[in-house]
Amino acid sequence: MALLQISEPGMSTAPHEHRLAIGIDLGTTNSLVASVQSGVAKTLQDQEGNTLLPSVVRYLENGDIVVGQDAHDSQLDDIANTISSAKRLLGRGVGDIKTLAGNLPYSFDTSDEHSNVPQIKTIAGNKTAIEVSAEILKSLKKRAEDSLGGELKGAVITVPAYFDDAQRQATKDAARLADLNVYRLLNEPTAAAVAYGLDQRDELNESENERIIAVYDLGGGTFDISILKLNKGVFEVMATGGDSALGGDDFDHLIAEWILEKSESELTHHALVEARRVKEALTDNDEIIASIETSEGDWSGLISRADFDEMVAPLVKKTLMACRRALRDADLEKDQVHDVVMVGGSTRMPIVREKVGDFFEKPPLVDIDPDQVVAIGASIQADVLAGNKPDDEMLLLDVIPLSLGLETYGGLVEKVVSRNTTIPITRGQEFTTFKDNQTAMTIHVLQGERETVEENRSLAKFTLRGIPPMVAGAARIKVTFQVDADGLLNVQAEEEMTGAKSGIEVKPSYGLTDNQIEGMIRASMDNAKEDMEARKLREQLVEADRTLEAIDSAMASDADELLSEDEVQTLLTARSQLIAAKQTAESAATVKAAIKHMEHEADFYVARRMNKNVNEAMAGHSVNEFEK
């Protein structure tokens, strides 16, 4: 008799089988891959023993593609065909090239008017940032397969906290080109929290039910701060913030400027290289000799850590201001934060660790290499999603950076999903028609924090048709927003009586930068009072339109039957006054007063129409019928 092997849902039929899964930190400058082996997460090396893979791709005339250190070393020799920093172009549109291209050393082909994806000119033909990123992912995938000795089941890939729909989708497209099965995309700060949170999870559960973690991520070109809540293995991102134009490169520039000022020479690439060396040396030394070649000969000078700390203090202060804003968004005080996790190579600077410790009033966690911690966290999450830890109930919940909503009548925005809402999430809201016999409705999806349409970002529009003709306000249209674990948005609209449906998957042609997101948030705060006044005014203008629509419809229906000429004139006068109040629109209060006056003047007419409708309904029936 044959025996069937039974396994738990989600588990392998071979309990001893370990599914090979990896975590990838796809970086702007360098990328890494990590995996959990024998219960320990660690980064994987190439054949030369290197952990970091420079995120550089070189295209050769014979069709060969070089990725990593060799490509990086040939940048100066073949700059036109050697692509670096491709991550900055992921999810960007042709229109963004105008602002980005000046900082990139290669050329773009803009001859294709039908393509909104930037095409980089190379000797091997035009390449997109997605294709370039795919080559980096292929290289990491091969490294993992060589190291692990088997076929990969899936990967978790990390992205910056502020990557929007288009940038996340572009990352997934690159992974698909690299033939990688993506379990999910994971915010980089969240991945770092996983690396530390899992190590301490059992200890935390015994002592406390909830723990707050701040993830301070200072990389080469960007800064991110995330506030997370850890509760029984569940990570929830409470708030995020940062500065996309602040990173270790800015610290290098300050040292380079100091060197140039002292040596009285012009800015050169060599000065920046020396500045980076000095910065790194000052991590372990109290002072260091800086030296460069100038047109006047060799120059050298002594720079102390105290000098360095003084010149970079304003930059560190800027990061702490972002930390303060993130705490405010999370509705927390500094003393409520239990742990501070340091991420990014720039957090090795002693002044950064010291000032962050002073700000949060506790020493930051630096146990894991700050360059590797994101990849390690991603690999831990990949191991869980691969089913290698069936008893592990760890969940990861991220947040959306900006509110999502719909345009309503009068140019107002009705927020459906608020900023910093935990994802994945599905949230629905009911809307209705504004005019009688309306059979279609345009759904306009918006992103932002302001109260009016023109002050927010338009994401998409689609039309719901098939609404039954009814009086205004009778239809019930449910609009559902669904944001998945990767931050991608799907919007569906359904008329509940007929079941008519329409929807759209939001994939913007280009994304928002961190600075643009932060600017939108700041603008909403700076203009909060004005925005609320504008909203109140527009709401009253919408109400005025409703009132006018109702009175016009009623008078067209039965004014001749129910009203005398004097009564008609009274109503027309009140109507004219309401229109005048709408046109001048001095304030919400003046429009509201005009509406109240119109309603007061029409009270007798409303009563007569009600009596008329009751009499018509009762015609042919006796009161006794309604008492049964």
Known active-site residue 25: yes
273 backbone φψ class: left, alpha, beta (φ>0; ψ -120 to 50):
alpha
Environment class of 163 (CB within 10 Å of its CB; exposed 0-12, middle 13-18, buried 19+): buried
Ramachandran angles phi, psi of 354, nearest 5°: -65, -50
pLDDT at residue 201 above 60? no
Evaluate the omega torsion of the peptide bond into residue 468 and state whether it is cis, within 30 degrees of 0.
Answer: no
What integer pLDDT is reported at residue 237 of this predicted model? 75
Catalytic site residue from 25, 46, 398, 495: 25
Residue with tokens 């392998």: 12
pLDDT interval class at 426 (50, 70, 90): confident
Catalytic site residue from 131, 165, 173, 217: 217
3-class secondary-structure state, position 404: strand
Of 192-196, 255-259, 439-443, give the range with the top mean pLDDT: 255-259
Biggest alpha carbon distance in the chain? 113
Q: Give, in degrees to the nearest 5, the angle at Cα 177 between 171 and 183.
A: 55
Known active-site residue 188: yes
CATH 2.60.34.10 fits 400-526, yes or no: yes
What integer pLDDT is reported at residue 447 of this predicted model? 84
More confident residue, 236 or 49: 49
In this structure, what token pair is assigned to residue 387? 């089913």
Catalytic site residue from 96, 165, 188, 371: 188
Catalytic site residue from 87, 127, 172, 355: 87
Same fold, 21-180 and 400-526: no
Mean of pLDDT over the chain: 81
pLDDT at residue 6 above 50? no
3-class secondary-structure state, position 501: strand
In this structure, of 38-52, 144-158, 231-245, 419-433, the range with the lowest mean pLDDT score is: 231-245
How far apart are alpha carbons 521 and 412 in whole angstroms? 18
Known active-site residue 64: no
Per-residue model confidence as pLDDT tens digits over 521-546:
556 656 666 767 777 777 777 778 87
Per-residue model confidence as pLDDT tens digits over 53-100:
999 999 998 889 999 999 888 877 888 888 888 887 888 777 666 555
The domain segmentation of the chain, as residue ranges, is 21-180, 193-371, 400-526, 529-618
pTM: 0.60
CATH number of 529-618: 1.20.1270.10
Of 123-137, 255-269, 438-452, 477-491, give the range with the top mean pLDDT: 123-137
H-helix segments, 406-498: none
Residue 161, CB-side half-sphere exposure with 13 Å CA sphere: 37
Fold held by 193-371: Nucleotidyltransferase; domain 5 (3.30.420)
Amino acid at 109: D
Q: Given 3.40.50.970, 3.30.420.40, 3.30.413.10, 3.40.50.1110, which CATH number is that of 21-180?
A: 3.30.420.40
pLDDT above 90 coverage of the chain, percent: 25
Per-residue model confidence as pLDDT tens digits over 433-475:
877 788 888 888 888 887 778 878 888 888 888 888 888 778 8
Ramachandran angles phi, psi of 262, nearest 5°: -70, -35
Known active-site residue 87: yes
Q: Are 417 and 406 in contact (CB under 8 A)?
A: no
Residue 87 DSSP one-character state: G
The beta-strand segments (E) located in 143-181 are: 154-159
pLDDT interval class at 618 (50, 70, 90): low
Bridge partners of residue 67, in order along the sequence: 57
pLDDT interval class at 397 (50, 70, 90): low
Report the pLDDT averaged over residues 321-346: 92
Per-residue model confidence as pLDDT tens digits over 580-614:
887 777 677 888 888 888 888 888 888 888 887 77
pLDDT interval class at 215 (50, 70, 90): very high
H-helix segments, 501-587: 514-526, 528-562, 565-584
Per-residue model confidence as pLDDT tens digits over 166-181:
788 889 889 989 999 9
> Rounded to 10 degrees, what is the CA torsion of 427, 430, 431, 433?
140
